[in-house]
Structure 1
Amino acid sequence: MYEAQLIDAKDEKNLYYPFTSKIKWEVAHWAKLRGSSSTVFTDLLSIDGVIVAGESFDVYYHDIIECIKSLYGDPDFARYLTFSPEWHYADDDETVHLFHNMHIGKWWWEMQKKLDAQHPGGTIVPIIISSDKMQVTMFRNIPKELHHKPSSGSHVLLAYLPTSCLKHITNKVSHCRAIVNLYHMCLHCVLAPLIPARTEGISMCSSDGACCHCHPIFASFVSDYPEQLLTTGVKFGECPKCDVNAKDTGSNTMQFHLQKLSEVLDALAAFNDGNLVFVCACAAAGIRPIIHPFWEDLPFTNIFRAITPDVLHQLYQGLIKHLLSWLSAACGGAKIDAHLCGLLDFLYLAQYPYHSSETLHSLDKALDLFHQNKDIFIQLSIHNNFNLPKLHTVHHYHLMITLFGTTDNYNTEYTEHLHIDLAKDAYRTTNHKDNIQKLVEDYGMTHFREALACYIVHKHQGDHSVPLHDRELDHLVGDIHFPFYHLPVFHKIKWCSIDTGGLTKGHVTLDSLGSWLIHRHSDTVFVRLGEDLVTNDLKGFSVGQVQVIFSLPPKSLQLLFPPTVNIPPHLAYIKWFTPFPSAPDQNNRLYKLSRLL
């Protein structure tokens, strides 16, 4: 009778019946098979969803492969995409190298040679991750001239990471290790799709129809000093890139080398040999004992070489800020002016949008000038020593420019602006409760002001005018100011049927007591390209997802639009999908689209 009852009550949609969820099935499976072995609790805690000490963490992130495909297939970037490395020279004899965009650097050439040895003809897609208590991703097939404009859409918000204080862990050492391991576990989940994508490659098509077999490779990590230490596992006060001693970071003559990745990976592999052996091995390698850092299994990735210069935090807010305070304490002087001159020369040279072998030599000379004269601050008792990690990191600028191009390829200034827009400003608009969930829900409306401003500019230009260049459009958009702070929005469209037969039965009262609220969702729509287009071909349509329907205040119309233009009473903010391909998929005969983030 019991088995018959199970058959009658079986839910065909529930794969884990008679259990109601996967986690309940796995716990029962654990209890049935493991018994009282020595690893019983380790096996229990390895089950996804089991909460330890009452703590659980949420991490919100996009699929990084879909983000890359979206940027790669954006029509605005099609003519700017780069697919292969290049050498540029300043002279006919090819003796003076030039460096600017990332594909001109040595890193791309090295990776292309390694990739061709395994997968000939593959296209490299360098991935740059920027972290400032959140994750922003971009890929360097797009030139830096576009990345400099935050409104270009060439950056994608990749993830919101948890920032829990872990107050339930009272031991200071365990607390620090838990925070580091939580950070790396979250990033491992976010970047895990890069591992098979790099090995096997993925086919990606740009909006002009050109398809390439691409291999996304984690290239560089852009962040401030605390995030650099958190990522590499290096201790505070040391360099996150090389093996220099913390007491020698102020020296200009001390020899140093980049951290050896092979030795670090060997130390991380000692995790299976026990906690004491693991901690000692990591200490000998110069890193903290991190359990499986996110970069451990990423192919072709050297995290110590991936740490890039940070002009904003290292030079402006780090060295120059302190130097000015020292000068004010010393009350000026000719010799002190010479110290300032050396570091200022380095600051301006480091920000060159184009570098050559000669300007890099000038960069090194400017740094030497500062070190030759810096002892005056010690003699005047203004500063005790110069063992500053940010002062030492400037020694790596020359190498990093030759590897990844000039510093404006990976400066935190640009992602800092996005951090303000996507995190700080967005948080201030919430009720400060469930703020992460609120930010995720509202992320689709981040570029609402820019989109509305572009619509106003196009209405001023007219439908038959010459299309504007990107720079002209950005200039006109920046001059538009909205005379309102709130807009009426509509969350639902009600369709009314026309009663052609006159058979209306009268007013119908709906029963609202038995109704229930549904989850918020956005409908997908077909948009006809052009009012005069009559064709039923799919090429005459675009697909988008309606985020919100709104209307403009009547008093603002005469201020924003010319009097000859008729503005619809209702407008919509739409997130677009890629255009329809020329042919459907060969396997399922369906058209595949992806979001234009």
Structure 2
Amino acid sequence: QELDRRIRCLPPAFGTRHFKNGISALSQVSGTERKYMARILLGCLVGKIPKNAIVAFRAILDFIYLAQYPTHDDTTLQYMEDALKVFHKNKEVLVNCGVREHLNIPKFHSLLHYVESIRLLGTTDNYNTEAFERLHIDYAKNGWRASNHRNVRPQMVIWLARQEKMSVDRIEDRHNAPGFKNMLAQYIYILKNNRRLTPTQLLTAVSHMPFDRVDVFHGFKFAPEPLTDSKEETDAVRARPSFGEQPARFDTVVVLREDDAEATGLQGTRIGRVKVIFRLPNRIKDPRTRVPLNAPASWAEQGPLAYVEWFAKLPTTPDPTHMMYTVHKSPLRSDGKPIADIIPLSTIRQSCQLIPTFPGSVGDKAEQLPTDWNTHTVLDVASKFLLNNWASSYAYQTLW
């Protein structure tokens, strides 16, 4: 029950699935659903099960994610063998805890042959059946259902061809971004003068903005740096205020902040939460005369922008047990506003998921989850998180 409660309150993120009712009540579980479970389970178990159980689960996840690499060399195959050794070294905790009577399971035995199979036959995406099973739904089952079940092949071909042709207020209040005006004024001044405003100058600048509105967007899609030549990655970030019964959603991202930041790893990056996605206007008004003017050329050069509230800087290394980084919420500034900046969208490297650090310790069976924690509020009310590097294959290869 507690695991279900933890899963229900995880924040949404691109590439993950939200199990709104948990997972224990699922009567049938598909292979895809198992993948989505694997992306979130480890973070939900931290602090609630023995350390060597966490190590065993982390090691088997390492093996599974490594086995899905589209390319391999001796180094990555050695990583697989090392991960399997760690799993076998720690797996007895599952028997000792009474999870199972034994671990003599054929699928566990088959893992011993993965490295050998990859050396002989190539990477696993060359000979697994997952892609073909999925395509069978698109190209056979759905086409069959769309027909009248008589002389179906011509009907299915026409249906598939048609499907392919068809495939071609306020910002601070609505977005819960109390520092947006200040950061926008600061950003514009830095563009013009290459230095920051003093607190006194900032008050004046906010009241004399050369425009009174900006174009705001509720999300954007982009292609992060690909890890291989054969696969183009996709990603998406949302910054959507609440509307009617639809709750707000403000995603978390990895941002390039220093000159030493790269496409993989976390050196030179920082974790932030996108509150506003917007674009500066092409036309402005003189703050003194209100005469219409063209906006400075440097504004267009910056491209679309984002107002991002920062989490604290990351530690230098992840936790050695579960290999996830701890992320703390930053304290507020002296004026009560969050630590934030306006950044070009181009500096957002990828989206990410933060799993809250749940209260309670190993062996504590009492209800510990705060009542105000849910999927829509947890990023606001929790203060400590784990950076989920298991959220996708791309996250696994880049968040280390």
Ranked by relative contact order (alpha carbons within 8 Å, sequence separation 6 or more), the top structure is 2
After TM superposition, is the score higher than 0.5?
Answer: no
Larger helix proportion, structure 1 or 2?
1
Larger radius of gyration: 1
Larger strand proportion, structure 1 or 2?
2
